[in-house]
Structures are given as structure tokens and as C-alpha cells.
Amino acid sequence: MAKYMVDEALCQAHGRCYAIARSVFGPDSDGYEKDAGKGWVDIPPERLAEAREAENACPETAIRVIEGD
Amino acid sequence: MKSVDYETEFDLDAPDFPAKFDEVSQEVLTKCPIVQSPALGGYKVVFRDEDIRAVAKDWQTFSNRFGYEPNRNGDDNARLFPLEIDPPYQARWRSVLGTHLGARAVATKEPSIRAHVNDLINDFVGAGECEFVEAYASQLPGRMFFSTFLHVPLADLAYVQKATDEAVSLPIAAGESTEEYAERRQAGWNRVAEYLEEYMRKREEEPPRGDIVDSILQGVELDDGEQAPWKHKLFVMLDVLAGGMTTTTFVLAGLAHFLATHPEDRARLAADPSLHTNAIEELLRYYASILALGRTAMEDTEVGGCPVKKGEMLMLAYSVGCRDPQIYDRPNEIDIDRKISSNLAFGWGSHRCPGNSIARLQMRITMEELLRRVDGLELAGADSNQISHSTVTRNWDTLPVKFTPGAVESVEFVEEEV
Ligand code: HEM
Ligand code: SF4
């Protein structure tokens, strides 16, 4: 399955990712992406395109999406 | 440099490049997206924002394994990790650093950094003049690393600071050969490595404190599932130190230079702190401290329409990309209201600077305290020859300033929960 990872050193809580892909990304209580620093997280195949869009929109390149195992 | 043929003679270390940085960067950005330099055994330089981001993002085609600058063969004892490794191994070290260097973790360091800022200001504020690099800009990053993060005595600092300078930011001396220069820098690296190794051995014997050192000592897995060797842990410590010294010194000096030369902006910032965050992004762009950093092409490919051969080293000129007229209107001017959607000064892609939050915090506190405590800041010398280049970094060598003498304040160093 495809996966994403959010680099905790880079996330600045801009919120673009969860504005674009609400079904994949979301804010924690301080507005940082909720999975920042938590390693690889699975993305259901039907959400992959959205996740890629958010990856490309993050102004810090904090999001990395990989496909395959 | 104006007269050089960029296609054949461009050299990141050319002695007159720093003084002509504004015009040379505009010239290369508009005329030649990529140049081949004959210096240091030969490398290519990528200038445009778009090309830099494309290369930096594609780690499969452009590897960091062969060193961050020309002539690093990779079997020395002072490499920099995660800078000189590729994902997925690199990403595991990034997670370790993120826990301690991310914006949220760094916010807890604010009281300690502010105490150091005010302690350093105390040392010069009464005199009405100082050399700002020596008195402040080169001091704060070392204090941040050794005191705020490692809790080591400040007495050790001068020695490591000098060795770090020799490793990272020492410019090539007149008449020195490329080999002699490389040897001198390597000797600096070896001294820094020795110091940090001794510190880490000591920490390994002590009960854990849950800080960044413990996390690095705990380590991560190599790509084959084995535990990362001791040496790699040392290379990570070295990177966290080296990555944050000259780079932050440069922007802190840039900040003081800006305040001393832009009295109107200075008055606006003093009156309205809500302008600070945006102004700091602009200062990071304008005084981008990484001149260029290397990637090695893993296959024959193309960058910005120019052919690149397998094995060639590309230097990504982040500092020049930060002046790209395709992205920025009046790129050589500081406009504190400019909206920067994504700051290239910290790089791009998998190696983008994990220390960015600490750098931004040091900038913010420095701006606040200089505005509060140091009135009437002005340059005290000629506004020239302050900057040198050493392949990778832009170095602020000297910045004499004068100001209205101010009062010493009492500073309390907060004992951190460790
Ligand atoms: C204004 C100050 C700073 C600037 C302009 C800056 C710039 C950069 C840039 C451009 C890179 C990307 C390297 C590449 O693409 O090859 C980088 C990487 C790095 N920086 Fe910074 N940096 C600054 C401060 C810091 C600080 C304070 C630290 C440490 C706390 C730090 C630690 C690192 C490390 C460890 C890397 C390597 C990351 C990796 O390869 O994954 N930097 N920095
Ligand atoms: S867009 Fe990027 S920086 Fe902003 S919250 Fe999402 S991951 Fe973090």
C-alpha cells in the first residue's frame, strides 16, 4: 500500500495539507499535521491522488509519499 | 567577476564573488541556468529556483552519498549524516532529529536561548560599539548547541568553535593549493570529531536524560536491518553542530546589518512586533547563508534543459536561487512585507534543513532583544569586504557597529528539565 510520512523537523503548521486532503491529513491540537514524527502511515488507494496533491503543496516539503511496499 | 565567461570560468570560491554577489547572481540567473566550473576538479552549478527544487526533490537521480561538495571521497572519519546519505536510511535519522528539532520541541528552548541572547548583549551594550560577528553572531549558535542542547560548560566552547570554523567556513588562503586547502579543512573536521566523540562516550556511560544526544546514541537501523554503527552516530552529531554554526552566524549578522542600514524598517519593526515573522523570512531569503550544496548525478540526465552526465557533481546554489527574478520582484532589495510562500534558503526535498525552527527562533529573539535594548544601531566601518565564500557557505567575517550605550540587565539562566 502507498504510504506517507510527515517530517516533524519541517512541519510548521501551515495547514495546506489538511485544507487540500482532509480525508488523509489533519491538524493536531496545535495545528501541526497530526502524524508528524510518527513514521510511515498507510494511504488507501482511492486517496493517493489527494495525498500527492498535498505533498506537492506543502511549502516545507514536509510530506513524503511513496507507492509500493 | 563581471568579465568572466560564466560558461567556462565560474568559481564559487572566486575572491571577488562575495562583493559582486547581487549583480553576478542576476547575471547567471538570466543568462545561464547552469554553468560548468573548472575549479576543485570540476563541478556544475544550478542557479534557478525551479531547477534547484527539481534536483533537490529527486534523490534517486541526484544522490548525496558522494559528498556535499567536490573532493569528499567518503572514506574519511568526519562525514556529515544525514547530509551525506540517501533515503530510506536518511529518513530514519531525520525522524530522530525531528523529535528534538521540530517547531514544537524548539519552542521549549525559548527561555534558555533568550537568556544567552541577553547575556551576550550585556557584554557589549555599555560600550556603544562592537564587532558584531565576534561579539554576538558567531557566539549564539555555539551557545545554543553546546549549552541549550548539550548542557556542556561554556568554557569548552572557544576551542570547538575555532575547529568548526576551520572545517566549515575557512576561506582558501592566498597562494594555497586546492590540496592544501582540503587538508586544512579535514584537520578541522578531525578536531571537532574528536571532541564530540569524547563527549558522546561520556554520555553513553551516564544515565539517559531523554535529550537529542540520547536519541542519537540509541540509533536507528541501517537499510539491511543492522544497527547503525557508532561512527554514524558521531556523523549525526557532527552534522547537527556544523549545520547550525556558520549558517546561523551569517543570518544573525545579516539581521544586525539590516537594522543598522534600514532605519525606517527598524522603526516599523520596533513599533509593531506582528511584522517580525514575515520580516525574518525575508531576511533569511536575502541573507541566505548556504552558498551551494552538492548532489551527484546517478545517471545521464538533464537539468534545466542542459545535459548532465552520470557521476557529475551539481552544486545547488540556494543563495542564488533565493534571488531568482522569476520568483521575486526586485530580488536584490529587502522588502519586509514581501510574502515568501516557500523559503529556498533552507533547501528543498528530503534534506531540507531540520534546524530551520531553531534558526528562525534565534532570529526572532535576536530581533526582539536588539530592538528593545540596542538603540541607534549604525555601521561603524566601511560597508564592504565583510563577506567571504567557502564553496558551501557564505561567511560574515566582520561587522563593526556603533549604537547608544545601554544598560546591563540581570540574566537568569533557566535550568532546563533534562
Ligand atoms: C539560517 C540558518 C540555516 C540555514 C540557512 C540552513 C540551511 C540548510 C540547507 C540549505 C540545508 C539542505 C542541505 C542540502 O540540500 O543538501 C540544511 C541541512 C541541514 N541543516 Fe541547516 N541551516 C541553518 C541552520 C541549521 C541549524 C540551526 C541546524 C541544527 C540545529 C541545522 C542542521 C542541519 C542539518 C543536520 C542538515 C542536514 C539534513 C539532511 O541532510 O537531512 N541547520 N541546512
Ligand atoms: S502543509 Fe506541510 S507544513 Fe503545513 S501542516 Fe501540512 S505538513 Fe505541516
Number of domains in chain B: 1
> Does residue B90 lie within any of the structural domains?
yes
- What's the pLDDT score for residue B1? 47
Q: Provide the mean pLDDT of chain B.
A: 91
Q: Find chain B residues with C-beta within 8 A of A7's C-beta.
A: 94-95, 98, 352, 354
pLDDT at B417: 44
Establish if B418 belongs to a structural domain. no
Residue B412 in domain: no
- Which stretches of chain A drop beneath a pLDDT of 50? none
Between residues B312 and B152, which one has the greater pLDDT?
Answer: B312
- Give the separation between CA B367 and CA B363, rounded to whole angstroms: 6
Report the pLDDT value the prediction gives residue B167, as an integer from 0 to 100: 76
| Total count of residues recorded for chain B | 418
Chain A residue with the nearest C-alpha to that of B87: A64
Burial of B387 from C-beta contacts in 10 A (0-12 / 13-18 / 19+): buried
**Which residues of A are less than 8 Å from B280 in CB distance?**
none
Domain, as residue range, for B162: 6-404
* Res B20 pLDDT > 70: yes
* Closest ligand 1 atom to Cα of B236: 35
Kindly compute the dihedral angle of the four CA atoms of residues B202, B208, B213, B218, in this order, to the nearest 10 degrees.
100
What pLDDT sits at residue B145?
A: 86
Inter-chain CB proximity A10 and B356 less than 8 Å: yes
Answer whether B345 contacts ligand 1 (Cβ < 6 A). Answer: yes
What topology does CATH give the domain A2-66?
Alpha-Beta Plaits (3.30.70)
Separation in Å, CA of A38 to nearest CA in chain B: 8
A28-47: per-residue pLDDT in tens?
999 999 999 998 999 999 99
- Give the closest residue to B135 by CA, choosing from B147, B120, B145, B148: B120
What's the average model confidence in pLDDT over B44-67?
96
- Find chain B residues with C-beta within 8 A of A61's C-beta: 57, 348-350, 352
- As for ligand 2, residues whose beta carbon falls within 6 Å of it are A 6, 11-17, 33, 58, 60, 62-63
**Mean pLDDT confidence for B298-318:** 97
Q: What is the mean pLDDT of residues B194-213?
A: 93
What pLDDT shows up at residue A9? 97
Do the Cβ atoms of B91 and A61 come within 8 Å? no
Residue B164, pLDDT above cutoff 90: no
Residues of B in contact with A60 (CB under 8 A): 342, 352, 356
Residue B168 confidence (pLDDT): 67
Q: Among B39-48, B72-81, B140-149, B174-183, which range has the highest average pLDDT?
A: B39-48
| Closest residue to A61, CB basis, from B95, B103, B352 | B352
- Contact B54/A at CB under 8 A: no
Neighbouring residues of B7: CB distance < 8 A, sequence distance ≥ 6: B32, B35, B36
- Nearest-Å Rg of the Cα atoms of chain A is 11
Tell me: the pLDDT tens digits for B94-110? 999 999 999 999 999 99
Q: Does any CB of chain A come closer than 8 Å to the CB of residue B57?
A: yes
Q: Which of B87, B91, B352 has its CB closest to that of A60?
A: B352
Q: Are B65 and B351 in contact (CB under 8 A)?
A: no
Grid cell at residue B397: 567575517
Say whether pLDDT at B259 is over 60.
Answer: yes
Rounded distance between C-alpha atoms, residue B85 and residue B289, angstroms: 22
B90 burial class (0-12, 13-18, 19+ CB within 10 angstroms)?
buried
Task: Report the amino acid identity of residue B274.
Answer: S
pLDDT band at B34 (very low <50, low <70, confident <90, very high): very high
What pLDDT does residue B416 have? 52
Q: Whose CA is nearest to atom 4 of ligand 2?
A: A14
* B69 within some domain: yes
Give the mutation target among A32, A41, A61 for probing the ligand 2 site: most ligand atoms within 8 A of CB. A32
CB proximity B392 to A under 8 Å: no
Residues of chain A with C-beta less than 8 angstroms from the C-beta of B341 = 59
Q: Which residues pair with B97 in a beta bridge?
A: none
| φ/ψ of residue B230, rounded to 5 | -50, -45
Length of chain A: 69
Per-residue pLDDT, B186: 81
- The CATH number of the domain where B179 resides is what? 1.10.630.10
3-state DSSP: chain A helix, strand, coil percent, rounded to 5? 25, 20, 50
B248 Cβ closer than 6 Å to some ligand 1 atom: yes
pLDDT at B180: 85
Note the pLDDT of residue B143: 87
Q: What is the pLDDT of residue B185?
A: 79
Q: State the pLDDT at residue B418.
A: 41
- Structure confidence at residue B161 (pLDDT): 74
| Ligand 1 binding pocket mutation candidate from B237, B247, B284 (most atoms within 8 A of CB) | B247
pLDDT at B309: 97
* B415 domain-assigned: no
Q: What is the pLDDT of residue B264?
A: 98
Chain A residues at the B interface, defined by Cβ less than 8 Å, are 5, 7-13, 30, 32, 36-37, 39, 59-61, 64
Q: Ligand 1: does its nearest atom lie under 6 Å from the Cβ of B142? A: no
Ligand 2, closest atom to CA A6? Answer: 7
Size of interface A-B (CB pairs under 8 A): 55
Q: Which atom of ligand 2 is found nearest the CA of A63?
A: 7
- B63-72, B141-150, B247-256: range with lowest mean pLDDT: B141-150
